[in-house]
A = this chain, B = another copy of it.
Amino acid sequence: MKTKLRSKIWLESNGGKIFGDGPCELLEKIDRMGSLRKAATDMKMSYRQAWDLVKMLEENLGISLLERQAGGRAGGGSSLTGEGKKIMCRYKKFRHEATISMETLFNQYFGAPFD
C-alpha cells in the first residue's frame, strides 16, 4: 500500500482565518497572471469570492495585499503590493519546510506497513 500524507494549514486570529494554503495559492496566481479575475477562474472561484477573500485577508491582517493597475490596452489588472509579496513568500517558505518536516516524520512513523 502506497500511503501519502496530505495536510491543510491555515493561520487564525481571534477565531478567524487570516492566511493559509488557499489564500497563498490565490496570491501566487495573481502574482503570476497579473489579474484577480484570471486567478479566480484558475482557482475555480467566482470573481466575487476571490475579491471577498482578499478583502477579508486585508482587513484581518491589517495590510494591503493588492494594487490595481489602471486600464490601458491590456485592460488593467491586479498585482501584489510589497507587503502582499512578503507574506506570500514567507508563508511559502514556512509551508515548504512544514511539508518536508511532516514527510520526514511520516516516513519515520509510517514508512513500514502498519504492523
Complex interface: chain B residues within 8 A of A102 (CB):
9, 98, 101-102
B8 touches A12 (CB 8 A): no
Complex interface: chain B residues within 8 A of A12 (CB):
3-6
Question: In the complex, how many angstroms separate the beta carbon of A48 from the nearest chain B beta carbon?
Answer: 26
Check if A72 is an interface residue, CB within 8 A of chain B. Answer: no
B83 touches A114 (CB 8 A): yes
Check if A71 is an interface residue, CB within 8 A of chain B. Answer: no
A7 touches B4 (CB 8 A): no
B1 touches A6 (CB 8 A): no
A86 to B114, CA, bound (A): 8
B11 touches A8 (CB 8 A): no
Find A13's partner among B2, B11, B105, B115 (CB 8 Å cutoff): B2
Given contacts A86-B114, A101-B105, contact A6 B11 (CB under 8 A): yes
